[in-house]
Amino acid sequence: MKTFLLALALLSTLFGAEVVEVGEKYITSQKCKACHLHLVNEWEESWHHKSHYKNDEYFRATIDYISRKTRKSPNSIKIQCAKCHNPRISVTSTDMSYEIDTLMHLQTDPRVDEAVNGENISEGINCVVCHNIDKIHQDKNESVRGMDRVSWIASGTMVGPFDDAFSPYHKTQKRDFMDTKPNTLCFVCHANDRSVSGFVFTNMQEEYGESTQKCVECHMGPRREYVAATLKLDNGKAKKREIRTHKFQGGHVESFVFGALTLTLKEEADDIVLTLFNPNPHNIPSGFGSRELLIEVYYKKGTRVIEKQILSLTRYFTRKGERASVAHLAIKASKDTSVPAKGEKVIKVAKVEKATDMEVKVYYRLVNDEVRSLLKLKDPIWSRKSLVTSASLELQK
């Protein structure tokens, strides 16, 4: 009886959210390649695929930083972040005794190590994250996200956009969030991202307001005619379908960022007025962490640059003791300076004597200088400047 109770207590502290194990036949995208190779290849390019401690340097460095500053074990932070980053993890919370065991270098529960190093989460947000969601609980408090906002369908059933799909490898079921209401699916994780102390640093759902534009239209591209599966079941041919690409391109892809904003320049008495317009239904950059827009203003005499000015639109976060911090430990932030959804941002710069021409270039950067140096990020992608838009103007006055 005693051991039974103990086992029960262990279970209840290690498994916060309900875990439904993924069967071996479906556990990685490898298993889908025989029939969905084109979709697997596209998804492998995405940052959903990279959402794992070992595959995304920024994610890893942030976890290590939080672990150092809060003196909690890296595993317990990984499990906290897994709610959205690795929602098929098999252990969903750790308790005080786990922390004490780690701190004292005692033997820790092996299931925690197994869970954070498990094959099923090594692929980040893979096929059986989105396609194994049975229900999305919209009635839950808006702070409840990721795995805590969904319930999983029994392993072996794939939910999708079609109500007449047949596959010999798995069962299929149609869901609205795969068809007419896909934003509900994206908002399971892309909303209400908050710091350890409950400070909401990004909320794409709020930015979106009443917009009904579908995330998938831009991030998976419009529906086009192709096949969903290459298996030849339809009179010896693969069935034609309306499908979407699975690349989930976003801020990490230079060509995707290009054109995200438009820029117009206007001359006033003593100033040049820069108007940045964002036609998209969410902010640019979206409030997430420490993304940045860099505005480079060139004053020219003819074709020669006589002065240069750089403006940065980003957000800074502070943790306890007013110290600079990553968003995830923030208790406070500077004003959100992003260009609002479907809105504009107007910036004035003073004219410079003798300048006859102006050129302005707007770049997007994934991580601002402050956080890049706090985390010592090395990969050039984090400091890369991706061109968003540019404009020039001949001065009259």
Q: How far is CA 165 from CA 33, 39, 160, 239, 244, in A?
A: 18, 16, 9, 10, 16
- 217: which residues sit within 8 A by CB, 6+ positions away? none
Q: Binding segment for ligand HEC among 124-132, 311-319, 340-348, 389-397 (CB under 6 A)?
A: 124-132
Enumerate residues 52-71 that contact ligand HEC by CB under 6 A.
56, 58-59, 62-63, 66
> Which CB, 14 or 216, lies closer to ligand HEC?
216
- The residues in 18-47 that bind ligand HEC, with binding defined as CB under 6 A, are 26, 29, 31-32, 34-36, 39-40, 43, 47
Give, for 10, the enclosing helix (H) or strand (E): helix 2-14
Decide if residue 276 touches ligand HEC (CB under 6 A).
no
Member of 17, 112, 136, 257 binding ligand HEC (CB under 6 A)? 257
| Per-residue b or e along 91-114, where b marks 16 or more CB atoms closer than 10 Å to that residue's CB | bbbbeeebbebbeeeeebbeebee
- Does 153 sit near ligand HEC (CB under 6 A)? no
Select from 17, 79, 81, 153 the one that contacts ligand HEC (CB under 6 A). Answer: 81
Kindly tell me which residue out of 17, 51, 360, 374 binds ligand HEC, with binding defined by CB under 6 A: 51
Q: According to the binding rule CB under 6 A, does residue 188 interact with ligand HEC?
A: yes
Is residue 375 at the binding interface for ligand HEC, with CB under 6 A as the rule? no
Nearer to ligand HEC, 29 or 337 (CB): 29
Stretch that binds ligand HEC, among 97-105, 268-276, 283-291, 314-322 (CB under 6 A): 283-291
Q: How many CA atoms lie within 13 A of 376 on its CB side?
A: 3
Residue nearest to ligand HEC (CB): 160
How far apart are the C-alpha atoms of 328 and 128, rounded to whole Å?
27
CA gyration radius, the chain: 24
Q: Is 290 helix (H, G, I), strand (E, B) or coil?
A: coil
Question: Which tokens in the block code for residue 22?
Answer: 């993924």
Q: Does 285 bind ligand HEC (CB under 6 A)?
A: yes
Q: Is the CB of residue 318 less than 8 Å from the CB of residue 331?
A: yes
The residue among 6 and 34 lying less far from ligand HEC, judged by its C-beta, is 34
Residues 6+ apart with CB under 8 A from 180: none
Asked if 112 interacts with ligand HEC (CB under 6 A), we say no
- Using CB under 6 A, pick the residue from 167, 262, 264, 275 that binds ligand HEC: 167
Query: How far apart are CB 215 and ligand HEC at their closest, in Å?
Result: 3
CB of 112 to ligand HEC, least distance (A): 16
| CA proximity to 170, closest of 149, 189, 155, 182 | 155
**CB of 160 closer than 8 Å to CB of 131:** yes
2: CB partners within 8 A, 6+ apart: none
Stretch that binds ligand HEC, among 68-76, 104-112, 256-264, 311-319 (CB under 6 A): 256-264
**Mask of contacts with ligand HEC, 288-327, x by CB under 6 A?**
xx-x------------------------------------
* Length of the chain counted residue by residue: 397
Which position among 13, 122, 157, 172 is part of the footprint of ligand HEC (CB under 6 A)? Answer: 172
Q: In this chain, which stretch among 2-10, 49-57, 313-321, 354-362 interacts with ligand HEC, using CB under 6 A?
A: 49-57
Check binding of 193 to ligand HEC (CB under 6 A): yes
CA dihedral 178, 130, 20, 57 (to 10 degrees): -170
User: Which two three-digit tokens encode residue 112?
Assistant: 């925690």
